[in-house]
Structures are given as C-alpha cells and as structure tokens.
Structure 1
Amino acid sequence: MAAQDPVFPQPPAEANASPGWAARTLVRRALKASLATLDAGTGHPYASLVTIATDVDGTPLFLISTLALHTKNIARDDRVSLLFDGTDGRGDPLAGGRVTLIGRAVKTQRPTAPERFLARHDSARGYADFPDFAFYELVPERAHFIGGFGRIVDLAPSDLLIDMSGAGDLVDGHDDVVSHMNEDHAAAIELYATELAGAPGGPWRMTGIDPEGIDLVCDGAACRIPFATAVHSPNAARQELIRFAISAREHNAKR
C-alpha cells in the first residue's frame, strides 16, 4: 500500500471535514495554546503560552499558578480566549487550520481533569500539587475556526464539545482502559501512531480515550486517531482498538 493510500480509520480529508470536527480534532491534538487574558492593570489584551489537555467531552484544561500574570488577570476578569495553532510548520502558516475558543476560565471541579492533564504532561506532576497551582477549564461560549484561505466559520459550544449522553460507562472505565493499553499493549500503541497517524516510531503512550477517538503522546509530540464510529463503553472501545491493531498490522505488512 502506498504511503498516501487511505488507512483505517481514515480521518475526513481536511478540506471535507465539518468545521466542528476539524476544530475538535485540532484542540484534541494540541499540547499547548496561546491564552489571551485582559491585563488587570491596563485592560489591554495579554497573550501567554499554556500547556493544554482536554477532558473526555473536549473541554480544554490547563494548569496555572497564582503567581502568573494571566492567573491574576483571570481573577479580575475571567473572560479569555485560547488560540490553537494547527499549521504544522507549513510554508505558509495562513493556509493551515487554527481555531480560537472564546469563553470564561474557571477553576475546574471535574474529577477527571487532573489525571487527564497529567497523563498528557507528565513533567507537571512535580508541581501540580503545589498550593499556588490549580487546574482551570475554558467554558466555551463560541469559537472562530479558520481552515485555510476562504474557510472561516463561527462555531457554537455544541460544535466544540461532544455529546456524552450514554457514555457514562466509558467515563467510568476510562482510567482502566488507558492503563491497560499502556501496560499491556505498548507495541500496539506504537503501531497505531506510526501506521495510522504517520508518526515516527518511539515510546508512544495513550493519554486519553473518548467517544470520538484516542489521544497519544511521545517525547513532546502528540497525535489523535479517530474511531470509525462513536463508542460509549469500554467494550465498544475494545472492539475499535482491536480494529486499529488489525489495520495497523496489515498496513505495516504491505510496506
């Protein structure tokens, strides 16, 4: 099979994907984003860099210190935006995808947030429990997606967050699925990354699973592999992960 041939589960081509799907995927893949807050002293926009993860429904999560200027700004005015850059080193960055999420930053009460974030940013474990650090989430109110020249769409929260109705079993079993895959199926995870996402080889780890797909990281790089169909339980996820493995091995054998 040629390298450019479709590989299961093939994501929609960038030009044909719905703006909502493209925006959600861009956010899920991101390890960092630009955070814009309103300067507490002058009211001017202040842009900073934060590391990013997402909760199971796609809500952006970040870990910040009360000592940071952006946190002081949020304490005064919680209106913020997050810019996710998906241009991937293109020669002309303006031809690539990006999305700005606009909403309010609040300390998250989500029980899944700390581990979802730390699985993606393991180095943060050394300071996540410091009393001056806290996990925040962006509560989106709208978004502005640009998928390249001439493809500009405003999105609603319903376009950015996935419907978790009926996915309670998947949420409850999330940590078990992720730990099982990392501990017992590391070779399969690397095949997912290299054969289904076109990533280089390495010690890839699964950091999260949700109804739409799985997230992987390795040495400061990240990739996302979408499911062919939405899953709402660990058993359904298992069937998709088996299908990933079969497809990845078949693709590897045909090189």
Structure 2
Amino acid sequence: MAVSDRSTTDGPEADPAPADRPQTIRPTDDEARDLARKLVRTARYGGLGVLDPQDGSPFVSRVALATEMDGTPVMLVSTLSQHTQALALDRRCSLLVGEPGKGDPLAHPRLSIVAEAEKVEADDPAHADIRRRYLMRHPKARLYVDFGDFAFYRVRPVRASLNGGFGKAYLLSTADLLVESAAIEGLAAMEAGAIAHMHEDHLDAVRLYAEKLARAGEGSWLLSSFDPQGLDFVDGDKVARLAFEPPLESAAELRPRLVALAKQARGVE
C-alpha cells in the first residue's frame, strides 16, 4: 500500500456547509492552537491508528508518548508489535490524545492527528534528546529502551481535528500544532544541563512552579522538559504544564524567566 504523497505542510480545508446546515467548524484561533498543543505536550499515552497490512482495515492500539521540543509527538514501540509492522509498510497513521475527566467523557477536549510515522535511527542527531525526554516522562521504560527490538518513532502531523468540547470543533494544520522558534536550537543545547541544575539546586522552585502556577496540586514534581512556550512537569503518572507568557524568543531568556516565575510563585497564596 503506497504512502500518501500529500504534503505534511498543507493545512486542512473544511468543505463548505450547505446553505440549510449550520457550519460546525469554528475558525482556528490562538485559543484552539494553545489547547491543541497542550493536549499533545501533556499526553502520556494516546490511541494510535494504523492500516492493517493484511486487508487495509483500521487497527488501533495504545502507545506511550513524549514530544520533541517543537511539539512533534514521539513514541517508543516494539518492532515486533502489530502496529509497528504496519507502519513499516505504510507510514500513514493517526493519533488520538486527550484524557477524559469527571463526568461525560465526550465533554472533555481531545485531538485527532492525521500523521506519518518516521523511525528515529540510533545515529540520528536528535536520538539522544528524544531518549532523554522520553525517559523523563516514562522512567520505567529505562528497563527496555535500549533493547534491539525497540525503536523511537516520530509521529509527524499532517493535519488535525480538535474537539474542545460540545460545539467547539476546529481543523488545524501542521503549523498550528508545531512550534517554529529561533529559541529551539539554543534551548535544546542547554535543556539537559538546565534541568539537572534545577533539580540539584532549585527543586523547591520547580515544585512551586507546578503546585502554585500550573495549579497541579502538591506532589513530588520534577521538571521533565521545556520548550519556547512552557515547562512540563511529572510526578509519577501525573503530568502538568506551565505556559510561558509571552513565549521565549531566545535561550538567553530562560534563566531570568525562571527567576521571575519563582518570585511570582512565592507570592501566590
């Protein structure tokens, strides 16, 4: 089965609604983009849909997730699994993220991403950062991350559908989901060292960021990753995110921003 030749940078276009039917897709705005990106950044797991090579039928499984700094989802999968074998023959896939909370599960936001999977080879310059960020999100995976039959895959978005709750439907493009920023390269180069420093010398500040500013509640919060638009925290199976307002424009802004956030957090009752 051939891989779709549709460009991964093309955004979706909604079909015009008939005159007698109300338009159900809202114009994509910054609020929708922020929500979609948060759903991806905070997802520990997602539903992965692939095409069964036997007959082309849809096949769905659950995969554990992390992200690259620009927001591209990544997963660690066994090459022996059915979904990985399907991706080896047809890269097209879809990914559903967004956990239901209390009450009606359909009232909670979720994001369906149409994507193409790409294996991250061990010699890929990004492999070490992907591995580190994934293990910060899923530390138990350290037991098997380096097994020969496991590999990382990027889930490269082509387009997406966001359901922000009843009556809140949006269509998003690749550009709506991923972050383009001059700060990415510099932040990526300093991320591992900066996180280690924060944990060694400023763990109290990290926990204040999560508990007070991200309103994640008390816990043993750790900083798992950061990017130009915010900080990600983990506490066991719990995940939280604190957005930067405004986003960072350079890596040099990170330290003063963290200092300012610590002062802000200490002033929050």
Q: 1:224 matched to which residue of 2?
A: 241
The SS at the match of 1:105 is strand
Following superposition of structure 1 onto structure 2, how do residues 3-82 of structure 1 map, counting pairs within 5 Å?
A: 18-82=31-95
Following TM superposition, by how much is the alpha carbon of 1:228 offset from its aligned partner in structure 2, in angstroms? 1.0
Deviations 1:209-230 (A, max 9, x none): 1000010000110000001112
Identity among equivalent positions (%) equals: 39
TM-score (norm 2): 0.84
Following superposition of structure 1 onto structure 2, how do residues 65-214 of structure 1 map, counting pairs within 5 Å?
A: 65-87=78-100, 89-108=101-120, 109=124, 110-111=126-127, 112-214=129-231
Query: How many Å separate the matches in 1 of 2:30 and 2:198?
Result: 29
Q: Is the 8 A contact 2:70 2:184 kept in 1?
A: no
Aligned residues: 236
Q: Is the 8 A contact 2:183 2:248 kept in 1?
A: no
The SS at the match of 1:229 is coil
What root-mean-square deviation, in Å, do the aligned CA atoms of Structure 1 and Structure 2 show?
A: 1.5
Q: Which amino acid aligns with 1:52?
A: L
The SS at the match of 1:52 is strand
Q: Which amino acid aligns with 1:92?
A: D
Judge which range, 213-222 or 77-86, deviates more.
77-86
Q: 1:247 matched to which residue of 2?
A: 264
Deviations 1:181-216 (A, max 9, x none): 122111111111111122232221111110000100
Q: Is the 8 A contact 2:93 2:115 kept in 1?
A: yes
Q: Which amino acid aligns with 1:42?
A: D
Deviations 1:58-103 (A, max 9, x none): 000100001111111111111101100143x130121111001111
Following TM superposition, by how much is the alpha carbon of 1:34 offset from its aligned partner in structure 2, in angstroms? 0.6
Which stretches in structure 1 are left out of the alignment for 5+ residues?
Answer: 1-15
Q: 2:255 matched to which residue of 1?
A: 238
Which stretches in structure 2 are left out of the alignment for 5+ residues?
Answer: 1-28
Deviations 1:97-152 (A, max 9, x none): 10011111111232321111111111111111100000000111100001011111
Q: Is the 8 A contact 1:168 1:232 kept in 2?
A: no
Query: How many Å separate the matches in 1 of 2:239 and 2:264?
Result: 20
Query: How many Å separate the matches in 2 of 1:195 and 1:124?
Result: 29
Question: After the TM superposition, which parts of structure 1 deviate over 6 Å for at least 4 consecutive aligned residues?
Answer: none
* Greater Rg over alpha carbons, structure: 2
TM-score (norm 1): 0.88
Taking a change above 3 Å as real, the CA distance of residues 69 and 153 of structure 1, as seen in their structure-2 partners, is: same
